[in-house]
Amino acid sequence: MKTGEIAALQKEYLMPTYAPGIALVEGSGASVWDAEGNEYLDFVSGIAVTNIGHCHPKMIHAIQDQVETLVHVSNLYYNEKQPLLAKALAERSSLPGAKCFFCNSGAEANEGLIKLARLWGSEHGKYEVITMRQSFHGRTLATLTATGQEKVQIGFGPLPEGFVYANFNDLQSVEDSISSKTAAVLVEALQGEGGVIPANPEFLSGLRKLCDEKGILLLCDEVQCGMGRTGKWFGFQSYDLQPDAFSLAKGLGNGFPIGAIVAGSTLADIFQPGHHATTFGGTPLACSAALAVIDVIDSEELLANTMMMGAYFVEGLCDIAQKHKKWIAEVRGLGLLLGLVLDVPSAALQKKLQEKGMLALATAGNTLRLLPPLNVSQEEIEQALQLIGEACEELHEEMAALSPNPCQCGMGE
């Protein structure tokens, strides 16, 4: 089918929760193709999901082999792939006594974190979770309430109780939000949906100290910045931080649905039979996919590549920002989770790039989010920089034509 046919079918039979513009039908590495055969450089990566690129041979083989062996048995029985994956994640987390719980998505993982914190604090009447404004934690009723953005909550009231919002990178704001009911602080090492805003090192280290002093938990949402995206296995490791537990999803399965909670010794045995469960979490198939992802990141040294290509990308983006400093404010991010922050809406730049054959994300109104796969090559980064540079030049000219007076458009020459 061509794009028009797919769009018509979707309009008739799917709820209109998204408004896609192109129909993607094939992918390989950092490239995807639409229904008309047009190629795109994919710097969305399924929103930080396809961290090892599209259709990696090792992942394909792992899934094929497992499909021919055993797909699903439920958690009423052992399956060997689940503890193997748990061991791999626990060892890479460096959390003492770490244990895992597997689910199917980031929202489920964060929902589980919230339940874990409440169960831990229930004996002492602690149930509140402090989250950050501009955070994003999911779309279930609990996780959209945990999300510190009113726009995702409108129309879904009454919202669950037990969530308090503080300002990101503002330790005093968090401290002022703590009460006798506080069970945990939930934080992202880098706010992706909030505009690609990295945490300040002193903020996260201060949070750890504050949580220890107050006897509350520190939880990290690693759904977007985990699995190598920042150049470390997990984003909090970029800050030498040790949370009590953290959530994973997205890049864990490289497109195969899987989520996880990884908890250190304080929380590792809080969940007991009957407290939490899942039908599909941690199937042999899902765990095989995730084990292949870890193998690729290790064997192809993608953490090192993420740091190297991230630095190279940032250098090129800074050159572009300098050239258009009247309307590009800054470049920020970690590893290969980067944002080009504009003084104008970012949707126009996203659209121009798509027309030129590159996919990126407009987020938080004024930020272009860039999420190439972790095995991206220098040549692909250079291609992206060329396309971004061209798109920025065209956008600059169009804005100047609309507002020839520099004072009106804020651009000048």
Q: How far apart are the first and last CA of the chain?
A: 46
What average pLDDT does the segment 133-149 reach? 97
In sequence order, which ranges of 156-283 are alpha helices (DSSP H)? Answer: 171-177, 201-214
**Of residues 279, 316, 294, 289, the one with CA closest to residue 374:** 294
Spatial contact of 250 and 227, defined as CB atoms under 8 Å apart: yes
Element (H, E) at 42: strand 39-42
Q: Provide the 3-class DSSP secondary structure of residue 155.
A: coil
**CB 93 within 8 Å of CB 248:** no
Q: What are phi and psi for residue 164, nearest 5 degrees?
A: -130, 140
Question: Is residue 411's pLDDT more than 70?
Answer: no
| DSSP label at residue 274 | T
What mean pLDDT do residues 285-311 have? 98
Query: Which among 230, 143, 237 has a CA at the least distance from the CA of 191?
Result: 230
In this prediction, residue 406 has a pLDDT band, given cuts at 50, 70 and 90, of very low
169-217: pLDDT as tens digits: 999 999 999 999 999 999 999 999 999 999 999 999 999 999 999 999 9
pLDDT of residue 106 exceeding 80, the answer is yes
Mean pLDDT of the chain: 96
What counts of helices (H) and strands (E) characterise the chain?
13, 17
Confidence of residue 115 (pLDDT cuts 50, 70, 90): very high
Q: Which amino acid is at 309?
A: M
Binding-site residues from annotation: 106-107, 136, 139, 221-224, 278-279
Number of neighbours of residue 71 by Cβ within 10 angstroms? 12
Percent of the chain with pLDDT over 90: 96
pLDDT for 403:
72
List the binding residues for pyridoxal 5'-phosphate.
106-107, 136, 221-224, 279
What are the tokens at 364?
Answer: 């938080």
What pLDDT score does 404 carry?
59
> Given phi > 0 = left and psi -120 to 50 = alpha, else beta, which region is 198?
beta
Strand order in the sheet with 328-334: 328-334, 337-342, 367-370, 361-363
What is the residue type of 185? V
Query: Taking the complete model, does pTM exceed 0.85, yes or no?
Result: yes
Q: What is the mean pLDDT of residues 369-375?
A: 98
For the annotated binding site for N(2)-acetyl-L-ornithine, the residues are 139, 278
**Cβ atoms of 153 and 147 closer than 8 Å:** yes
Question: For residue 412, is pLDDT > 60?
Answer: no
Phi, psi of 370 (to 5 degrees): -120, 120
| Whether the Cβ atoms of residue 349 and residue 342 lie closer than 8 Å to each other | yes
Q: Tell me what the mean pLDDT of segment 118-146 comes to.
A: 98
Strands 328-334 and 217-221: unpaired
Q: What is the pLDDT of residue 400?
A: 87
Q: What angle do CA 353, 357, 360 make, to 5 degrees?
A: 45
Cis, peptide link before residue 158, omega less than 30° from 0: yes
Closest CA to 129 of 100, 161, 176: 161
Cβ atoms of 36 and 46 within 8 Å: the answer is no
Half-sphere exposure of 137 (CA within 13 A, CB side): 37
pLDDT above 70: percentage of residues in the chain: 98
Specify the pLDDT at position 408.
40
What tokens does 55 get? 């259709």
CA dihedral 266, 268, 270, 273 (to 10 degrees): -170
Residue 89 in contact with residue 262, Cβ under 8 Å? Answer: yes
Phi/psi at 28 (5° precision): -155, 120
pLDDT in tens, 218-247: 999 999 999 999 999 999 999 999 999 999
Give mean pLDDT, residues 322-327: 95
Domains of the chain: 3-55+301-409 (3.90.1150.10), 58-299 (3.40.640.10)
pLDDT at 405: 56
How does pLDDT run across 246-296, given as a tens digit for each residue? 999 999 999 999 999 999 999 999 999 999 999 999 999 999 999 999 999
Whether residue 148 is predicted with pLDDT greater than 70 in this model: the reply is yes
DSSP class per residue in 297-334 = HHHTTHHHHHHHHHHHHHHHHHHHHHHTTTTEEEEEEE
Count the neighbouring beta carbons within 10 Å of the beta carbon of residue 401: 9
pLDDT of residue 184: 98
402 band by pLDDT with thresholds 50, 70 and 90: confident
